[in-house]
A and B are shown apart, each in its own frame.
Chain A
Amino acid sequence: MSASIVIFYILAAVILGGGILAVTAKKIFRSAIYLLFSLMGIAGLYFYLNYEFIAAVQIVVYIGGIVVLIIFSIFLTHASGKDMEKPKLMSVIVSALAVVFACAIVISLINNYSFFATTNTAIEPTVKNIGRQMLSTTEHGFILPFEVVSMLLLAALIGSIVIALKPKTEA
């Protein structure tokens, strides 16, 4: 057992434990905090794979953005100390069976499949390489999806403000 293997299993335990607790916790606020731990474990996994930029984006956007947004929406819509309504026993049994069988099928498929790696020279996923290719207008550049996604973000911003506006009370 080298240190790398131990670190991977610790990260996997944090990710999966956080995920399971996030979908089964009784109180909604705790559920959000367990989700935070799971997302942090995933950021750690990206660091483990040497994708530092993706890990930083994961921390900034997911942990700093989406989880905070979810916690705000919990405070706006819930009495967050109360227990949530329990799911029906039948629905828990049926979904757990479906999920376990589907998971078993996928895992056995992955186990029996042999992957072939490319022999091309590796490109390091550094910020420099990512940035150059992201904004390049040549054949393998990603400038068009970059611009499209910026329009999507603007539309989502304006749309969510319009949807969440308080309707005017008619005088």
Chain B
Amino acid sequence: MNEIGLTHILFLSAILFFIGVYGFLTRRNMVTMLMSIELILNSVNINFVAFNKYLHAGKLDGTFFTIFIITIAAAEAAVAIAIIIHLYRSSKSIDVNDADLMKF
């Protein structure tokens, strides 16, 4: 415990990941579920950066993975929010249990 090493950061990102999973399992509201997904993606980014810094300092691959994950997360959030707004217009609710338009 004298020096902050790789394992400390991995503990942090593991706990953050499971906080996101807990939110995803308990929330029934689409916007808050999207927020839990952002937490999960961020914990993955922390892992990539930490592995890049401590284990593979001779390459920049972890950095690029992080940049691409952030880009794709932004695209995903934009599309998800467009879908949520459209769903709200058609059914006046963004609860996942009310979204059964495509149920056969």
Residues of A within 8 A of B (CB): 4-5, 8, 12, 15-16, 19-20, 22-24, 28, 31-32, 35, 38-39, 42, 45-46, 49-51, 53-54, 57-58, 61-62, 65-66, 69-70, 72-74, 76-78, 84-85, 87, 91-92, 95-96, 98-100, 102-103, 106-107, 110-111, 115-118, 120-123, 125, 129-130, 133-134, 140, 142, 145, 149, 152-153, 155-157, 159-161, 163-164, 166
Q: Is the CB of A122 within 8 A of B57?
A: yes
Residues in B with CB closer than 8 Å to A54 are 45, 49, 63, 66-67
Interface size class of B (residues with CB under 8 A): 35 or more
Whether A16 contacts B60 by the Cβ 8 Å rule is no
Query: DSSP class of B's interface residues: helix, strand, loop or mixed?
Result: helix
Closest CB-CB distance, B17 to chain A, in whole Å?
A: 8
Contact A156 B20 (CB under 8 A): no
Q: How far is the CA of A12 from the CA of B86 in the complex (A)?
A: 37
Distance in Å from the Cβ of B60 to the closest Cβ of chain A? 6
The 5 A-B pairs of least Cβ separation, nearest first, read: A120-B58, A23-B23, A160-B82, A156-B75, A122-B57
Q: A23-B39, A65-B74 are in contact. Are A110 and B11 (CB under 8 A)?
A: yes
Inter-chain contact A8/B16, CB cutoff 8 Å: no
Q: Which of A85, A122, A157 contacts B95 (CB 8 A)?
A: A85
Taking a contact as CB atoms under 8 Å apart, the answer to whether B35 and A70 are in contact is yes
Most buried by B among A57, A66, A76, A161: A66
Q: Do B19 and A19 touch across chains, with their CB atoms under 8 A apart? A: yes
**A128–B28 Cα gap in the complex (Å)?**
44
